[in-house]
Amino acid sequence: MVKLGFHLSISKGFAAVPEKAVELGCTTFQIFSRNPRGWESAPLKEDDVADFIKKVDQYELHPFLIHMPYLPNFASEDKSLYKRSVQSLIEECDRAAKLKADYINIHMGRKITKSIDSAFQRVENAVNTALEKGSSSAMILLENTAGQGTEVGVTFEEIKRVTDNINYKKRVGVCLDTAHLFGAGYDLRNKKAVEETIKTFDKIVGLKYLKAIHYNDSNSKLNSHVDRHQHIGKGEIGAEGMNAIINCKLIDHVPFIMETPMKNPGEDLENIKTAKSYLKQ
């Protein structure tokens, strides 16, 4: 059975997250452990964390992901920003340890002017440093990007460049975002296209590295290099493609996390209803 869930808010405390997951019919989830648009993080409250861990276990919601905030840029040439980014990842590892998270999802970042090679070297160094100094056993997941602007980690070949140079191979994995894949030029609109894309990933990177799927339809066209998520089955990937993705036997062993738009009440329930309807076919 596919593990399916959403990115959920911690605004009501960590302990409220597992309850919300169960209410929505989730069997996994993803959270930010702190403000996603700031550098500072409030200390974790022991009682809240203990209750959170107890409920995650009680409702069998493992594995779950922590997503890094948006500000860190592990490919940055700015020494101050880069140093702060690495320290932020180390801190996230420590928070993940306290929350007993399974995975920490990161965006690799954006280069500015220098070579792509040096950008990837900075990403590799950041991950290696965090895995060495951070206290968590959680695996760091590299998320693919749509290639918007100067983003790195767009192609499977670029992801492989990083995984090949991580010192702690068993503590690094990949999270494939379906909307980002589509924006980067990987077709997902039918069963044949999905299987070809996943087999290409396996050939280049290796399915052993795949640990999670961000299950999002795309509001942007194929190879647009634009990152815009859409409701399940209502975007450019479409119902046939989203159905094929969630039913692909090559990837049904990993958690599927939806990061769909939330402008109106009930949209999350509609998205999970649609996703589950595909699984019944």
SS3 per residue for 183-233: HHCCCCCCHHHHHHHHHHHHHHCCHHHEEEEECCEECCCCCCCCCCEECCC
pLDDT number for residue 138: 95
- Render pLDDT for 69-122 as a digit per residue (tens, 0 to 9): 999 999 999 999 999 999 999 999 999 999 999 999 999 999 876 678 899 999
pLDDT number for residue 114: 67
CATH number of the domain within which 211 lies = 3.20.20.150
pLDDT number for residue 158: 97
pLDDT number for residue 281: 67
CA separation, residue 69 to residues 12, 38, 72, 109 (Å): 18, 7, 7, 12
Flag whether the pTM goes above 0.95.
Answer: yes
Instruction: Show the domain range for 73.
Output: 4-279
pLDDT number for residue 1: 84
Collect all residues with Cβ–Cβ distance below 8 Å to 13 and sequence separation of at least 6: 45, 48
As for how many domains the chain has, the answer is: 1
CA–CA gap between residue 251 and residue 189 (Å, rounded): 16
- Taking 50 as the pLDDT cut, the residues of the chain under it are none
User: Residue 177: which H helix or E strand, with range?
Assistant: strand 172-177
Tokens matching residue 79: 């020494």
